[in-house]
Amino acid sequence: MAGPHLQQPSFLLATLKADCVNKPFAQRCHDLETVIEELPAKELHGIFPWLVESIFGSLDGIIVGWNLRCLQGRTNPNEYSVALDFLDPSGPMMKLVYKLQEYRYDFPVSYLPGPVKASIQEQVLPECSLYHNKVQFPSSGGLGLNLALNPFEYYMFYFAISLITQKNSPVTHHVSPSNSAYFILVDTYLKCFLPTEGSVLPPPSSNPGGAIPSPTPRSPAVPFSSYGMHHTSLLKRHIAHQPSVNADPASQEIWRSETLLQIFVEMWLHHYSLEMYQKMQSPHVKESFKPTEEHVLVVRLLVKHLHAFSNSLKPEPLSPSAHSHTASPLEEFKRVVIPRFVQEKLYIFLQHCFGHWPLDASFRAVLEMWLSYLQPWRYAPEKPPQSTEPLPRSVSDKWAAFIQENLLMYTKLFVGFLNRALRTDLVSPKNALMVFRVAKVFAQPNLAEMILKGEQLFLEPDLVIPHRQHRLFMSPTLGGSFLSSRSPAVTDASFKVKSHVYSLEGQDFQYKQMFGAEVRNLVLKLAQLICQAQQTAKSISDHSAETMASQSFFSWFRFTPSEVNGSYTGNDLDEIGQDSIKKTDEYLEKALEYLCQIFKLSEAQLTQMMMKCGTAQDENGKKQLPDCIASENGLILTPLGRYQIINGLRRFELQYQGDTELQPIRSYENAALVRLLFRLSSLLNHRFADQMEMLCSRDDFVGRLCRYHLTNPQLLQKIRYSPVVRDRTSPNWGPRISLRFLASYRTLMSLLMIYFLASWFYVGPVGCTFIILTGYFLYAVIMTFFFEGWKPHEH
């Protein structure tokens, strides 16, 4: 919203609003470009807030705008290319931004991230210099506070916050976040304003004045108390203190670079303060902000680019005195961009995600963002030499300082991942892949040794550190601008590590060593879980192979054992194919190997873990049951057994143990035929019950043949699939006829195929029926001799 004297609707604004309804998208953008080129800033000033809102949507999420997060080139190539051209750093929208640099626009404080909003409303000045000298009282007696922003800040605020506010955008097709127009624009702005090569492009020539002056308060400023000293911002030091007509282009690019980064970090990461983060550790505190997977993907893009930007820093000159004279503001910015602007907020953001993200495969986005931050060497300008050797490249010792100054990112978050992994189903290929990815990254040669060195530095006694420096542990130094008065160079590596840990976790933080006994026990539990998951995957694979074998062509003429006893195997065999099981086994095998490398696990320990995994198997020696103990009331689950069931590692086979004739009608059966044949079978059984009982009681071949056809011995077997209920008795229904198998679509299709093939050989239906009955009688005689206990046509 603009100043009060420009709130009245203008003819230009009314015309543009009408065009949004009456003209196609490309034509509207072309007309806007013409308007921006031809009209003076005084007339364009009134349409700027409306135009920004119409592009990025309203702050309350009601107005969707151009819906850049769902706009993709493959589904809407014309609008996609037009939007990217219009919003390009050298496009019409940025020309309008630079053209209106003398104006200020109000951004409501109520839509800022929670910690910033709370701080400003409590009249405490946030540490980030982005908010300094910008907080304004409502000029017309309104209720809310506002920030007075220049056009570049206002545009970037809306652009960044649209990722958060536009969560319920209408989606009519599958959207890939990394291919959306929004994702491409983020990448474009990062490359333009945080370049890894060269310098930032200057503003368009339509703005020869160069500098954007500091906002002047239009109403009495809010009295603020700061967290600490007011650091001189980059804007004040390098731009505001120079005449605008002679503004240094390098200073101008630094201002835009710092502003862009601060806005992105504030809008995307600063949703949890240190105090709020510590409160969130309590299970009784509800989370106030829930990031989405798309949000995390955009943050990962930011992290990767900041590593590339920081790694493009030119080597320091040999002469220390030459540093202050030769280093440009952009080079200084690269030196401190991650520790000063990103580290604290990203750490708290990751801690929240590790503790509150659902235990499903969507956590992969958070995981990859974390791993990207842990590996700045992947984004270094020098590329590793292409080698045919399979050995991974060792992490250079030059990254030791980064690892030590980000120790908690490596150690505490690794422990957080262990706790998540111990609660997930590792039989799932996606979950197994995440464990493999983390193990592979931490197993890079020399990385574990450098992490261990960082822990040793932190655990060194701090008696050698002067007492006056202890205060620095408690006061974060991440606020302000990077060109604030630089603290004396700290050469004590131990002090740097302690400063990092205590500034993020507080002076009373009890550090848990990554290579200590407690975490090592967690790793051993994870290794044991991996072994169990491998055995479960193998069991599922064996079961799947048996199922596939039983579904051969010959199975069309008889029935598989699963149909005979009516057992239910669950959905896992349907959803987990042979390829997925193979991938799971590969991921877990490599992950276990990497964990052994990282924590120096011995072969003896692995063997002992394999023994503890349990080898409880059923009578077939294949399917593993949950851990349980036998009692007079049947099987009782142990705590380990309950854990195995909850995590999907093992399960009891659910088996129908009632009257097979009364089973629910299956999807492969005809409902009308099932009911009809049940009535017919019941009538026959009632009519000839005594005769069938007499025949089955005979000890000769006729009795054996009748028992083969008229009884179901499997119902009398005591199958150890699930815990036994007290006083459970197996009912004996006696000899009876069952015709339900004739209601199966498979049986009907098989008979139809036989009759159809018989017609080719001029065999009529009567003759074909006689052949089928004769063949089945011969088959039954043979089976009676060898497999009296199996009855093929029971369901």
| 566 closest CA partner among 664, 651, 652, 645 | 664
In DSSP terms, 636 is beta-bridged to 629
Residue 286: partners with Cβ closer than 8 Å, 6 or more residues away: none
3-state SS class at 610: helix
Residue 422: partners with Cβ closer than 8 Å, 6 or more residues away: 522, 525, 526, 529
Q: Is the pTM of this model over 0.85?
A: no
- 225-226/124-125 β-pairing: parallel
Report DSSP state, residue 655: E
DSSP-H helix ranges across 688-716: 689-696, 701-710
Neighbouring C-alpha atoms within 13 Å toward the C-beta of 674: 15
d(CA 450, CA 407) in angstroms, rounded, equals 10
Q: Which residue has the tokens 């506002």?
A: 146
Two tokens at 680?
A: 């017919």
Residue range 81-102: mean pLDDT, rounded = 95
| 214 closest CA partner among 285, 130, 123 | 130
Task: Point out the least confidently predicted range of 234-238, 304-308, 723-727, 736-740.
Answer: 234-238
- The confidence score (pLDDT) of residue 280 equals 52
Asked if the model's pLDDT at residue 404 lies above 90, the reply is: yes
In DSSP terms, 72 is beta-bridged to 180
In DSSP terms, 746 is beta-bridged to none
551-578 pLDDT, tens digit per residue, is 544 444 444 434 444 433 333 333 445 6
463: left (phi over 0), alpha (psi -120 to 50) or beta: alpha
Asked if the model's pLDDT at residue 51 lies above 90, the reply is: yes
d(CA 389, CA 392) in angstroms, rounded, equals 8
Q: Which residue has the tokens 């975490």?
A: 519
Task: Point out the least confidently predicted range of 391-405, 564-578, 707-721.
Answer: 564-578
Task: Point out the least confidently predicted range of 50-59, 501-510, 571-580.
Answer: 571-580
**Are the C-beta atoms of 585 and 534 separated by less than 8 Å?**
yes
DSSP-H helix ranges across 317-378: 323-326, 329-337, 343-356, 363-374
Residue range 403-425: mean pLDDT, rounded = 95
Two tokens at 791?
A: 């009855």
**Which one has a higher pLDDT value, 609 or 313?**
313
59-68, 397-406, 670-679: range with highest mean pLDDT: 397-406
111-162 pLDDT, tens digit per residue, is 999 888 888 888 888 888 899 888 887 665 556 789 999 999 999 999 999 9
**Distance (Å) of CA 486 to CA 257, 314, 321, 332, 491:** 20, 20, 15, 11, 14
Asked if the model's pLDDT at residue 764 lies above 50, the reply is: yes
Asked if the model's pLDDT at residue 410 lies above 90, the reply is: yes
Asked if the model's pLDDT at residue 390 lies above 60, the reply is: no
**Which one has a higher pLDDT value, 549 or 415?**
415
**Which one has a higher pLDDT value, 69 or 707?**
69
Residues 350-356: contacts with CB within 8 Å, 24+ apart?
350/409, 350/413, 351/277, 351/412, 351/413, 351/416, 352/271, 352/272, 352/277, 352/280, 352/287, 353/291, 353/296, 354/413, 354/416, 354/417, 354/420, 355/280, 355/281, 355/416, 356/280, 356/287, 356/290
- 157: how many CB neighbours lie within 10 A of its CB? 24
Residue 387: partners with Cβ closer than 8 Å, 6 or more residues away: none
DSSP-H helix ranges across 197-280: 234-235, 249-269, 274-280
Residue 107: partners with Cβ closer than 8 Å, 6 or more residues away: 146, 147, 149, 154, 157
d(CA 680, CA 684) in angstroms, rounded, equals 6
| 93 closest CA partner among 122, 129, 56 | 56
In the chain, the N- to C-terminal Cα span, in Å, equals 73
d(CA 517, CA 691) in angstroms, rounded, equals 74
642: left (phi over 0), alpha (psi -120 to 50) or beta: alpha
3-state SS class at 40: coil
Asked if the model's pLDDT at residue 587 lies above 60, the reply is: yes
Angle between helices 578-599 and 517-550 (to 10 degrees): 160
| 116 closest CA partner among 216, 190, 227 | 227
Residue range 610-625: mean pLDDT, rounded = 51
Asked if the model's pLDDT at residue 294 lies above 90, the reply is: yes
Residue 148: partners with Cβ closer than 8 Å, 6 or more residues away: 104, 105, 106, 134, 135, 136, 215, 217, 218
Asked if the model's pLDDT at residue 331 lies above 70, the reply is: yes
Q: Which residue has the tokens 């004297």?
A: 5
| 659 closest CA partner among 577, 734, 582 | 734
206-226 pLDDT, tens digit per residue, is 444 444 444 443 334 444 444
Residue-averaged pLDDT of the chain: 77
- The confidence score (pLDDT) of residue 292 equals 92
Residue range 474-493: mean pLDDT, rounded = 45
At position 768, the amino acid (one-letter code) is C
Cα 365 from chain centre: 4
**Are the C-beta atoms of 296 and 352 separated by less than 8 Å?**
no
| 534 closest CA partner among 494, 593, 492 | 593
